[in-house]
Amino acid sequence: MSKTTVKNEYSAKSINVLKGLEAVRKRPAMYIGDVSARGLHHLVNEVVDNSIDEAMVGYADNIEILIHKDNSVTVTDNGRGIPVDMHPEEKRSALEVVMTVLHAGGKFDKDSYKVSGGLHGVGVSVVNALSEWLKVEVRRNGGIYFQEYQRGLPIKPAKEIGKCKKNETGTKVTFLPDKEIFKVTEFRFDTIAERMRELAYLNKNITIKIKDERNGGEEATYHFKGGIVEFVQYLDEARQPLHKTVYVEGERDNTPVEVAFQYSDSYTENIFSYVNNINTHEGGTHLVGFKTALTRTLNNYAYKNNLIKDSKITLTGDDFREGLTAVISVKVAEPQFEGQTKTKLGNSETKSAVETLVGEKLAEFLEENPSVGKKILEKCLRAAEAREAARKARDLARRKNALDNMNLPGKLADCSITDPELCEIYIVEGDSAGGSAKQGRDRRFQAILPLKGKILNVEKAKINKILENDEIRAMISAIGAGFGIDFDPAKARYGKIILMTDADVDGSHIRTLLLTFLYRHMKDLITAGKVYIAQPPLYKIKKGKEEFYAFDDNERKEILKRLKVNGKVEQAEPAETLEDGSVKGVSISRYKGLGEMNPEQLWTTTMNPETRTVLQVTLESAANADKIFETLMGDAVEPRREFIEKNAKYANLDI
């Protein structure tokens, strides 16, 4: 090769470098996604990914990130160090090539097993191109080497600046993101820290330290001996796990596979899948392989050990994933990423690798840990039952004919007017009160549905049980708007649903159960303001032919005072002593239940729209309501009482 050829080749390569860097700076989004905060943080990830690659091949176990005061960042690792030898043909160091040529990183490392990400893995040269300046320091072969760049171009050739121990190797990259490129140039500690924590979970051998030299001086060190087992436990922190975490690890067809999972008391599925440390949000073949193996292995195990007693139940894939938290991490040499955000793995060979490995190892695990197997299957069976019940609920709701006025419950005394806006239904506790209400009502617009005793607590019953309950079925039919997900408030046959229960502890419990049912399965009725609480009086005060009703103790005292002031009750004794007795012509009786009132009294006090008080049930916020109702139906009495007083506005009632 003549001297001129070499020179031409060199200049040709330099032109390519310039073109490359120019391309990156012209269309940065093509390389790093965007130029907002996301793209900015991508720069750190890109450099760290190279360090992680060194860790994955077993050369690095320490990574340090420093965010400096000027928002430049240093990433240091103790890997092999970027090669620094001169290329006789290139006339520049390998270091310079890695730092300035797109996708050059892997070129020097063909022999070793190296996996690179899809989104990442564009190379440190991209970081270099998008930095106002970048400095790299390499320790390798007993020497310390240095090179500096501006907007991707080297200022001088790489040079040895000192000596170090032969076994002291590593790479240190410091860069300042270019303000000409990025809209945001301020790093967020938490954003970097979150990704570093994830990487530390996914690579159990490494320690990652992050330190912020700006105000606050935050720092964090991540090292998880348990790797993804600890990751799963971290994800389930707020849930109650049902067993010890299951861990499966191995390699199939040159694909390293790692899976950790556990079931908790929750009902949601939380599976996180990774390929080469990249979160595959859209899943892909590795996830499919895992799900297939899980379903098949658990099913086989259940049948082999006779864990499914009810032969009517068939477990579906979903049943095996209810309450499951899992992390799947695979390493794929040449990953194909598909999907909208390029986070779906397409490699078909990965599916069978994960499927066979997880299948075998999980079967082994279950044989060795029968108590865990039993717990898992119990959970899955409960999920299957709930799913079956939900299906029944939907079927029932779809069979509207069976639930509307064509098939109204026998004990409903319906009204004659059919315009829902003008109609109201009283849901009444007990047959005797129901009887009084039926006689006392205005049958043109008032319907009465008497319920027997306490209805089911829908909070603690499976949906199939709920729908088998006669009282609940009667309510669904009478209201006529369906149930659960098919509930349509527009179809409600009444404009007001009025709950009328006794003013005692039992009555308040029944009212709560009714409200819970309405909240869970006919929520829109409450939000539409169609649910009311009737307010029957607590006392009847009689003086001669005159009758007075008191809705609470205060009112009772006031009425008595009034009677006294009128001069009819002279020197009335304290109200308390008057109770249940006839004093100077005044008699006070306390209603123990609605049934004690005759139809006329019930009409006058509780049902006549002209004279009654009904309290609208409101919920402070629908979002809060879920939790509120859990509180309400839980075992703690105090919070329930507080809720009722605060939210449902029936403070006047004796609860």
Half-sphere exposure of 47 (CA within 13 A, CB side): 33
Q: Are 482 and 400 in contact (CB under 8 A)?
A: yes
143 binds ligand 0RA (CB under 6 A): no
Residues 73 and 541: their CA atoms lie apart, in Å, by 82
CB 103 → ligand 0RA: shortest distance, Å? Answer: 11
CB 90 → ligand 0RA: shortest distance, Å? Answer: 14
CA distances (Å), origin 522, targets 454, 479, 484, 628: 19, 10, 6, 16
Q: Are 351 and 286 in contact (CB under 8 A)?
A: yes
- Residue 345 belongs to what H/E stretch? strand 344-345
**DSSP β-bridge partners for residue 92:** 87
537 binds ligand 0RA (CB under 6 A): no
CB atoms within 10 A of CB 148: 15
Q: Which is nearer to ligand 0RA, 43 or 628 (CB)?
A: 43
Q: Which is nearer to ligand 0RA, 141 or 652 (CB)?
A: 141
Residues 247 and 229: their CA atoms lie apart, in Å, by 7
CB 82 → ligand 0RA: shortest distance, Å? Answer: 4
108 binds ligand 0RA (CB under 6 A): yes
Q: Are 347 and 285 in contact (CB under 8 A)?
A: yes
98 binds ligand 0RA (CB under 6 A): yes
CB 220 → ligand 0RA: shortest distance, Å? Answer: 21
Can you read off the two tokens belonging to residue 250? Answer: 């191995």
Start-to-end Cα distance in the chain: 100
**252 Cα distance to chain centroid:** 33
484 binds ligand 0RA (CB under 6 A): no
Q: Are 278 and 117 in contact (CB under 8 A)?
A: yes
CB 189 → ligand 0RA: shortest distance, Å? Answer: 21
Q: Which of 20, 28, 39, 79 binds ligand 0RA (CB under 6 A)?
A: 79
Phi, psi of 310 (to 5 degrees): -85, 105
Restricting to residues 161-190, which ones interact with ligand 0RA according to CB under 6 A? 171, 173
Contacts of 493 (CB under 8 A, 6+ apart): 404, 405, 420, 423, 425, 478, 479, 480, 481
Q: Which is nearer to ligand 0RA, 101 or 327 (CB)?
A: 101
CB 484 → ligand 0RA: shortest distance, Å? Answer: 55
CB 99 → ligand 0RA: shortest distance, Å? Answer: 9
Candidates 8-16, 72-80, 333-341, 639-647; binding stretch for ligand 0RA (CB under 6 A)? 72-80
Residues 490 and 480: their CA atoms lie apart, in Å, by 10
Alpha helix (H) residue ranges in 344-424: 348-368, 370-398
- Nearest CA to 462 among 510, 392, 400? 392
Query: Which amino acid, residue 405?
Result: N
For 39-103, the three-class secondary structure string (H helix, E strand, C coil) is HHHHHHHHHHHHHHHHHHCCCCCEEEEEECCCCCEEEEECCCCCCCCEECCCCEEHHHHHHHCCC
Q: Which is nearer to ligand 0RA, 77 or 414 (CB)?
A: 77
Q: Which is nearer to ligand 0RA, 94 or 472 (CB)?
A: 94
Q: How many residues bind ligand 0RA (CB under 6 A)?
A: 16
82 binds ligand 0RA (CB under 6 A): yes
Q: Which is nearer to ligand 0RA, 125 or 255 (CB)?
A: 125
- Residue 172 belongs to what H/E stretch? strand 170-177
Q: Which of 28, 39, 105, 177 binds ligand 0RA (CB under 6 A)?
A: 105
Q: Are 420 and 494 in contact (CB under 8 A)?
A: yes
- Nearest CA to 532 among 646, 424, 414? 424
CB 162 → ligand 0RA: shortest distance, Å? Answer: 19
Residue number with the shortest CB distance to ligand 0RA?
50
Contacts of 381 (CB under 8 A, 6+ apart): 307, 308, 310, 313, 315, 319
User: Which stretches does DSSP call E strand in 376-479?
Assistant: 424-429, 446-451
Task: Output the DSSP codes for 203-261.
Answer: STT-EEEEEE-STT--EEEE--TTTHHHHHHHHTTTS-BSSPPEEEEEEETTEEEEEEE
For residue 402, what is the DSSP state?
G
Residues with catalytic roles: 429, 502, 504, 506
Candidates 104-112, 379-387, 473-481, 606-614; binding stretch for ligand 0RA (CB under 6 A)? 104-112
CB atoms within 10 A of CB 35: 18
Q: Are 76 and 210 in contact (CB under 8 A)?
A: no
Q: Which of 9, 61, 90, 109 binds ligand 0RA (CB under 6 A)?
A: 109
3-state secondary structure of 620: coil
CB 306 → ligand 0RA: shortest distance, Å? Answer: 55
Q: Which is nearer to ligand 0RA, 110 or 225 (CB)?
A: 110
CB 328 → ligand 0RA: shortest distance, Å? Answer: 27
Binding mask 31-70 for ligand 0RA (x = CB under 6 A): ----------------x--xx--x----------------
CB 640 → ligand 0RA: shortest distance, Å? Answer: 59
Residue with tokens 């299906």: 391
- Which residues sit at the interface with ligand 0RA, rule CB under 6 A? 47, 50-51, 54, 77, 79-80, 82-83, 98, 105, 108-109, 124, 171, 173
